[in-house]
């Protein structure tokens, strides 16, 4: 009996064929992908998914929303308004959802990401 693990049914060449070289990915695509991932994770931590409160964690949500706001603020001049506008809308929705989910809402301008976006009102 051999101590080596069985070989995978996929060879490294198959895996390489399924991935793109990061050098070929435009920066805007990387930024937008990261932003969408942050938005999705924040929505889960805010309890906005089908699972509801199962994964709700407002401390984690605050970190994710703040990171998203920082990314969008830092990349505002690098990505077109075509990409930025829906991301900003999504960010605002998450900020408002955070305020609604909080037992003691933050003061205007003190909520997650508001140091980058300014106060968010409904």
Query: What pLDDT, in 10s, does the model give residues 84-110?
Result: 999 999 999 999 999 999 999 899 999
Contacts of 34 (CB under 8 A, 6+ apart): 71
pLDDT at 15 > cutoff 70: no
Give residue 24's pLDDT: 86
User: What pLDDT sits at residue 17?
Assistant: 52
- Render the burial of 35-73: b for 16+ CB within 10 Å, e for the rest: beebbebbbbbbbbeeeeeeebebeebbbbbbbbbebbe
pTM for the full predicted model: 0.82
């Amino acid at each position: 009996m051999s101590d080596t693990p069985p070989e995978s049914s996929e060879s490294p060449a198959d895996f390489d064929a399924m991935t793109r070289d990061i050098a070929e990915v435009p920066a805007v695509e990387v930024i937008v992908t990261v932003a969408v991932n942050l938005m999705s994770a924040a929505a889960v931590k805010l309890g906005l998914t089908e699972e509801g409160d199962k994964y709700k964690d407002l401390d984690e949500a605050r970190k994710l929303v703040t990171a998203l706001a920082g990314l969008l603020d830092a990349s505002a001049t690098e990505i077109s308004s075509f990409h930025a506008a829906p991301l900003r809308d999504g960010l605002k929705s998450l900020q408002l959802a955070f305020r609604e989910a909080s037992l003691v809402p933050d003061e205007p301008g003190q909520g997650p990401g508001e140091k980058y976006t300014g106060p968010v009102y409904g």
